[in-house]
């Protein structure tokens, strides 16, 4: 079965950290560029970070630059998003997206809540 599965979300206090994982099954993740996106209630979906198939190129939204780090382990077919210094405004459902040519896969999302 071809799918992406996110994990690692949860409730964390402001200033805390979480590491999200995006695990692929049924396809070769190494060909795909991966993005993490998030959507908060009442807001549009926002692209948070991207990483190229080789891992040699990354992108971060200004809102997370310096706090989030994207990485990938193609052998484990997993992409990670390390989130540090979390803020209440980081609260959202986080999705991973894999794209390669016409192939486009989405995960089901994982909830991240930053609150004291």
> Do 19 and 82 meet the contact criterion of CB atoms below 8 Å apart?
yes
List phi, psi (to 5°) of 21.
Answer: -120, 145
Q: How confident is the model at residue 1 (pLDDT cuts 50, 70, 90)?
A: confident
* Model confidence at 92: pLDDT above 90: yes
What pLDDT digit, counting tens, does each position of 17-40 carry?
A: 999 999 999 988 999 999 999 999
CA 54 to CA 72: how far, in whole Å?
A: 9
Compute the mean pLDDT over every residue in the chain, rounded to the nearest whole number.
96
Can you tell me the mean pLDDT for 86-101? 97
């Amino acid at each position: 079965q071809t799918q992406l599965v996110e994990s690692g979300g949860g409730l964390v206090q402001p200033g805390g950290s979480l590491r999200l994982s995006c695990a692929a099954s049924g396809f070769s993740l190494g060909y795909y560029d991966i993005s993490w996106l998030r959507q908060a209630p009442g807001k549009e979906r926002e692209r948070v970070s991207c990483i190229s198939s080789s891992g040699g190129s990354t992108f971060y939204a200004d809102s997370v630059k310096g706090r989030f780090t994207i990485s990938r382990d193609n052998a484990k077919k997993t992409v990670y998003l390390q989130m540090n210094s979390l803020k209440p405004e980081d609260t959202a459902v986080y999705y991973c997206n894999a794209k390669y040519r016409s192939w486009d896969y989405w995960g089901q999302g994982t909830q991240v809540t930053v609150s004291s």
